[in-house]
Chains A and B, each alone.
Chain A
Amino acid sequence: MTTTQSSIDTIYGPDAEPNYLNAERGLWSWLTTLDHKRIGIMYLMGILGSFALGGFAAIMVRTEHLSSAATAAADQGTIMTPDTYNSMFTLHGAAMVFLFIIPGIPAALGNFILPVLLGAKDVAFPRLNLMSFYLWMGGAIFFVMALLMGGLDTGWTFYTPYSSGHSPFGGVVPAVFGAFVLGFSSILTAVNFLATMHTLRAPGMGWFEMPLFCWSLYATAVIQILATPVLAITLLLLIAERVLHVGIFDPALGGDPVLFQHFFWFYSHPAVYIMILPAMGVVSELIATYSHKEIFGYKFIAFSSLAIALLGFLVWGHHMFVSGQSALAGTIFSLITFTIAIPSAVKVFNWLATMYKGSIELTNGMLYGLSFIWVFSLGGLTGLPLATMVTDVHLHDTYFVVAHFHYVMVGGTVFAFLGGLHHWWPKMFGKMASRLGGFIAWVLIFGGFNLTFFPQFLMGSQGMPRRYWHYQPEFHVYHLISSIGAYIQLAGFITLAVVLLQSLIKGRKAAANPWGGTTLEWQTTSPPPHLNFDEANMPVAGNPYDYENIEHNADDDEYVRTRPQSTARSH
């Protein structure tokens, strides 16, 4: 990204009106920038790189499963040995979770857009923001080191006693330390966003004039602040266990491996909501903007984010129904898990009600928003049999679980991320992406996704265990369909990359408000100036979803505000 300053110049030209991309020049100006928008773009590049890394591993895993002809005796797989397979699925999970999904929406999209949504000039702590980015880079480097030091085969969950002493792979310690460093990055971003939302809202912007994406980032920040430090200490203890054999988790030394699971899921379950809450925030923006209608039930959506954040802390034990925890604990965890369905459903119903009688425009952003609702609902509903103890005993550690969380994580978070990327792409780079190209990519990604993961529900419920290198021939047809779906997704993502890159070079120049959005980012130029808004004309906030006073100007394909924003919400 940074070596392309000359191409930035050719696109935006030294003569172009000043914006954050051409405000300063050269690689150094990017690496040391304190501008939240540039930091957001750097995160975006890093995150997409990690996505490619995790995607590569996924394709390898799916390719291995193309045939069941693997013979365990000879260690001959379709393309790899069992050890390679184990390190591939571990790499896939760890890279996708720690490097891509967790920082994906908050650190990349959030960094870019949050201060603009608030009408602020920057985040509260710009230096800390840059430090978070470099910590993220540091964590990513440790992950790459883990690969070079022999990889690891513990799964992304690093369960003890496997990770604490028995795994012969050399990459365990660097990968665990990498996750520790990434946690730091996550915490600092959260602290930054929290302070930003508390103190840097534009004049006129009370808590309930914040766009809903901000609310979801707020709830996310609370989880990151309260949960991530527990992961930090858990990972440090794990490193101490592996290197010094301190005896806290290792049963051979009197330690308790289930304690590790408790510690790990105390973070990692709330982390699931770190992944999905920002996605829900993006979807709220997408649905409202492309329905051109005020969001339905603003306060319900806002508070349901906080409710999910709160309840998310009390359900970690549902990952451990078969770990030997007490039946009473299991029952309570199961019960609280069901209650999470309530705020999640509140959001879904509000989105549906927003669309009702709206003037729905099927832009590519909206397609991803709608895909999210469909896929997230499927993922959420298949969570219920997993939250029920009796059925979970059957489904635990099968492909059903794999399918469930991919529906929520990929279908949920990744689709929302892509929707947000389409939505804010004109704001980020001042260029419109090809609508047809984006549509073809969406068809491939959405179709390929369902083709990949739906068969996994079926084979999982029939007993196909997850993380197995070898499988019974009866599962072959499901694995085959699943792998073909993965290749279709790959084609979709490559198409998308081409479409987006091409838009930078040949894309039509974006208007300030190409979609008819009402939040503050659409009141500034695309791309925004260095300080986000014209200093002489700083924004004054009102109802963030006031679509009454926005009109489409067909000549320029641009939306313009006809009257000042109203201050009162109708709902």
Chain B
Amino acid sequence: MSQVELSPAQAHDAENAHHDHPEWLAHHFDTPDQQNTSAKMGMWAFLGTEILMFGGLFCAYAIWRANHYDAFWIGHVYLSTAWGAINTVVLLISSFTMAWAVRAAQLNQRSLCVGLLALTFLGGCGFMVIKTIEYTGKFEHGLGPGIWYTAPAISKQLDAMAETAGTASHADAEAAPATEASGPAAAESANPVPGTSLPSSAAAPMGMVAPAPVAPVGHDMAAHSAHGHGEGHNYYAAHGHTTEDLVTARTFFSIYFGMTALHGLHVLVGMALILWVLLRARRGEFSAEFNTPVDLVGLYWHLVDLIWIFLFPLLYLI
């Protein structure tokens, strides 16, 4: 790289003699202000493309929510509002430390800037750790996207197990929805929020063909029944859902994973960028005159934060 830049660099040196070009000012810019304006302009345009890219997913979300509200109503119950809220707080704090780091860079406060960038990076780590915990839980319960959505199959198996074993133990109301005959009334009784349940036949009008689920070979059924109240209960019944409900909710989890995974990827990219400016800040490359990279990474990080601010209520709360 340096070898090929020799010629521009020489031109550069020649210019230094003439125009007092600082080292961080690229040869094709006349003034630091011109360079900074260009960089910011480019970054904002790029952030515009990011918003539109997520816009496609938000559009898919809106259309699915409008057409298949039931899928969202059933699915969102399985998302942990607590983890989501904690993650929101983590990202908001990291956005604050990022903004402060930009200010510190502008004020020549080198060690403060480095420290704040490190905190921001840790915030990103925290977010990803929590996301990993959430994702792991989803996959364990067969609530993954697409071909990894095996919940209906697991639920069916649990129902079958409950039917053979359950005749001995006493049956309570919540075990009922597992049987074929139960229907809407039973689902209603099992629903945590009365009056808002959906008919268990909701899947039918969607013309949905049950996916050919990969049987969870070697899957620990106890993991699912353990969440219930005792033998014969399963994880999904504890949330008031039948196998049919789970078939309905399938695409909700695809959308959930699509949106959060793309966002998570952006968090990872943001963390890499933060690490990059952190190392440059440690080397003392930034000053009151030149701190554009910190500023731009800050803009990117705030956008990542902002997208989550939309994802959290849309997926977890409503």
Cα of A232 to Cα of B34 in the assembled complex, Å: 31
Q: Which of A85-93, A147-155, A222-230, A374-382 contacts B (4 or more CB under 8 A)?
A: A222-230
Chain A residues closer than 8 Å to B67, beta-carbon distance: 256
Chain B residues closer than 8 Å to A246, beta-carbon distance: 145-146, 251, 254-255, 258
Cα of A124 to Cα of B29 in the assembled complex, Å: 8
Is the CB–CB distance between B209 and A244 below 8 Å?
no
Cα of A496 to Cα of B206 in the assembled complex, Å: 57
Given contacts A225-B45, A253-B211, A256-B63, contact A29 B4 (CB under 8 A): yes
Nearest B residue to A235, CB-CB: B56
Nearest A residue to B5, CB-CB: A34
Asked if B111 is at the interface (CB within 8 A of a chain A CB), the reply is no
Q: From residue 37 to 96 of chain B, which have CB atoms closer than 8 A to chain A?
A: 37-39, 41-42, 45-46, 48-57, 59-60, 63-64, 67-68
Is the CB–CB distance between B50 and A229 below 8 Å?
yes
Asked if B156 is at the interface (CB within 8 A of a chain A CB), the reply is no
Given contacts A122-B28, A244-B148, contact A253 B38 (CB under 8 A): no
Given contacts A191-B46, A237-B258, A244-B146, contact A254 B52 (CB under 8 A): no
Asked if A493 is at the interface (CB within 8 A of a chain B CB), the reply is no
CB-contact partner of B41 in A121, A194, A255, under 8 A: A194
Is the CB–CB distance between B49 and A530 below 8 Å?
no
Asked if B147 is at the interface (CB within 8 A of a chain A CB), the reply is yes
Given contacts A33-B4, A34-B5, A233-B56, contact A253 B251 (CB under 8 A): yes
Is the CB–CB distance between A191 and B45 below 8 Å?
yes
Cα of A195 to Cα of B250 in the assembled complex, Å: 44
Shortest CB-to-CB span from A233 to chain B, Å, is 3
Asked if B318 is at the interface (CB within 8 A of a chain A CB), the reply is no
Given contacts A33-B4, A253-B250, A254-B207, contact A237 B42 (CB under 8 A): no
Q: Which of A23, A247, A530 has the most CB of B within 10 A?
A: A247
Given contacts A34-B8, A248-B251, contact A200 B38 (CB under 8 A): yes
Nearest B residue to A187, CB-CB: B49
Asked if A498 is at the interface (CB within 8 A of a chain B CB), the reply is no
Asked if A413 is at the interface (CB within 8 A of a chain B CB), the reply is no
Is the CB–CB distance between A195 and B251 below 8 Å?
no
Chain A residues closer than 8 Å to B173, beta-carbon distance: none
Shortest CB-to-CB span from B212 to chain A, Å, is 9
Nearest B residue to A224, CB-CB: B49
Asked if B11 is at the interface (CB within 8 A of a chain A CB), the reply is yes
Chain A residues closer than 8 Å to B55, beta-carbon distance: 229-230, 233
Chain A residues closer than 8 Å to B52, beta-carbon distance: 225-227, 229-230
Is the CB–CB distance between A234 and B255 below 8 Å?
no
Asked if A204 is at the interface (CB within 8 A of a chain B CB), the reply is no
Shortest CB-to-CB span from A254 to chain B, Å, is 4
Q: Which of A33, A248, A263 has the most CB of B within 10 A?
A: A248
Asked if B7 is at the interface (CB within 8 A of a chain A CB), the reply is yes
Could you mark each residue 277-315 of chain B with 1 if its beta carbon is under 8 Å from any beta carbon of chain A, else 0?
000000000000000000000000000000000000000
CB-contact partner of A199 in B34, B51, B64, under 8 A: B34
Shortest CB-to-CB span from A520 to chain B, Å, is 15
Is the CB–CB distance between B41 and A228 below 8 Å?
no
CB-contact partner of A24 in B7, B15, B42, B262, under 8 A: B7
Could you mark each residue 179-199 of chain A with 1 if its beta carbon is under 8 Å from any beta carbon of chain B, else 0?
000000001001110111011
Asked if A322 is at the interface (CB within 8 A of a chain B CB), the reply is no
Nearest A residue to B14, CB-CB: A535
Residues of A within 8 Å of B, CB-based: how many?
Answer: 55
Asked if A120 is at the interface (CB within 8 A of a chain B CB), the reply is yes
**Binding site of A, secondary structure by majority: helix, strand, loop or mixed?**
helix
Given contacts A230-B56, A248-B251, contact A240 B146 (CB under 8 A): yes
Chain B residues closer than 8 Å to A190, beta-carbon distance: 45
Cα of A405 to Cα of B67 in the assembled complex, Å: 35
Asked if A531 is at the interface (CB within 8 A of a chain B CB), the reply is yes
Cα of A322 to Cα of B148 in the assembled complex, Å: 35
Cα of A190 to Cα of B28 in the assembled complex, Å: 19
Asked if B21 is at the interface (CB within 8 A of a chain A CB), the reply is no
Chain A residues closer than 8 Å to B28, beta-carbon distance: 120-124, 126, 200, 531
Asked if B133 is at the interface (CB within 8 A of a chain A CB), the reply is no
Cα of A240 to Cα of B211 in the assembled complex, Å: 15
Could you mark each residue 114-137 of chain A with 1 if its beta carbon is under 8 Å from any beta carbon of chain B, else 0?
000000111111101000000000
Is the CB–CB distance between B38 and A124 below 8 Å?
yes
Nearest A residue to B253, CB-CB: A246
Nearest A residue to B208, CB-CB: A254
Given contacts A24-B6, A233-B54, contact A199 B49 (CB under 8 A): no
Is the CB–CB distance between A263 and B208 below 8 Å?
no
Chain A residues closer than 8 Å to B147, beta-carbon distance: 244-245
Chain B residues closer than 8 Å to A236, beta-carbon distance: 262
Asked if A168 is at the interface (CB within 8 A of a chain B CB), the reply is no
Chain B residues closer than 8 Å to A240, beta-carbon distance: 145-146, 254, 258
CB-contact partner of A195 in B3, B45, B207, B254, under 8 A: B45
Asked if A251 is at the interface (CB within 8 A of a chain B CB), the reply is yes
CB-contact partner of B42 in A125, A247, A248, under 8 A: A125
Asked if B1 is at the interface (CB within 8 A of a chain A CB), the reply is yes
Nearest A residue to B68, CB-CB: A254
Asked if A443 is at the interface (CB within 8 A of a chain B CB), the reply is no
Is the CB–CB distance between A530 and B11 below 8 Å?
yes
Asked if A32 is at the interface (CB within 8 A of a chain B CB), the reply is yes
Shortest CB-to-CB span from B269 to chain A, Å, is 13
Given contacts A199-B34, A248-B64, contact A229 B53 (CB under 8 A): yes
Q: Which of B6, B15, B27, B38 has the most CB of A within 10 A?
A: B38
16 contacts between A and B (CB under 8 A): A29-B4, A121-B27, A122-B27, A124-B39, A124-B42, A195-B38, A195-B41, A225-B45, A225-B52, A229-B52, A233-B54, A233-B56, A244-B145, A246-B146, A254-B206, A259-B60
- Give 8 new A-B contacts, CB below 8 A, not counting A24-B7, A32-B4, A35-B8: A196-B38, A225-B49, A229-B52, A244-B145, A246-B251, A248-B64, A253-B251, A530-B11
**A residues with CB within 8 A of B:** 23-24, 28-29, 32-35, 120-126, 128, 187, 190-192, 194-196, 198-200, 225-230, 232-234, 236-237, 240, 243-248, 251-256, 259, 263, 530-531, 535
Q: 9 nearest interchain CB pairs?
A: A244-B146, A233-B56, A246-B254, A229-B53, A121-B28, A122-B28, A229-B52, A246-B146, A195-B42
**B residues with CB within 8 A of A:** 1, 3-8, 11, 15, 26-29, 34, 37-39, 41-42, 45-46, 48-57, 59-60, 63-64, 67-68, 145-148, 206-209, 211, 250-251, 254-255, 258, 262
